[in-house]
Structure 1
């Protein structure tokens, strides 16, 4: 929205459309996860890409995909690096629990 110096116009805009807080954006139907790999990392880029795809499947499938935390490799070790386990167990993934609304709410 452009800067509005006219308070009457701004007031009318707020009254008509309300105020909004954006808590998430989906672009073109795709959710994005971005990771910066440390230069000292020993994980090959292709393997990291696979972890990212699996992480995306878990985070954005809304409970339809098995948890990465429970997956193990053939030798019984965790299948994913520890950082992904911390992401999956942390409280930072709370956007899915926020109720969506399309109604305009006014504060008077």
Structure 2
């Protein structure tokens, strides 16, 4: 099965990929800058929405502060803890919490777009 995939898919693409790597690909820097700015604006909107939902400003990128808001202030039950015993705010936990709570859903979108913009 792997030999068939190699012969029918990967091997025929080798020449094309080699040319792309050798010559590069064109990037529209203006469009890329515009997209980056749009992402920055959306990220800022999401940050403001998180603070609105929490009722005060906090550092969304801080697991400790996010945990305090979610589990301490909002009273959302802790799903799992980190190795150090702190309430986890990882993607898996936030995804589960997002089913019933607005803030984790917004935080997940904020993280996704922030990660996308940083690449």
TM-score (norm 1): 0.32
| Structure possessing the higher relative contact order (Cα contacts under 8 Å, 6 or more residues apart) | 1
Instruction: Looking at secondary structure, tell me which structure has more helix per residue.
Output: 2
TM-score (norm 2): 0.30
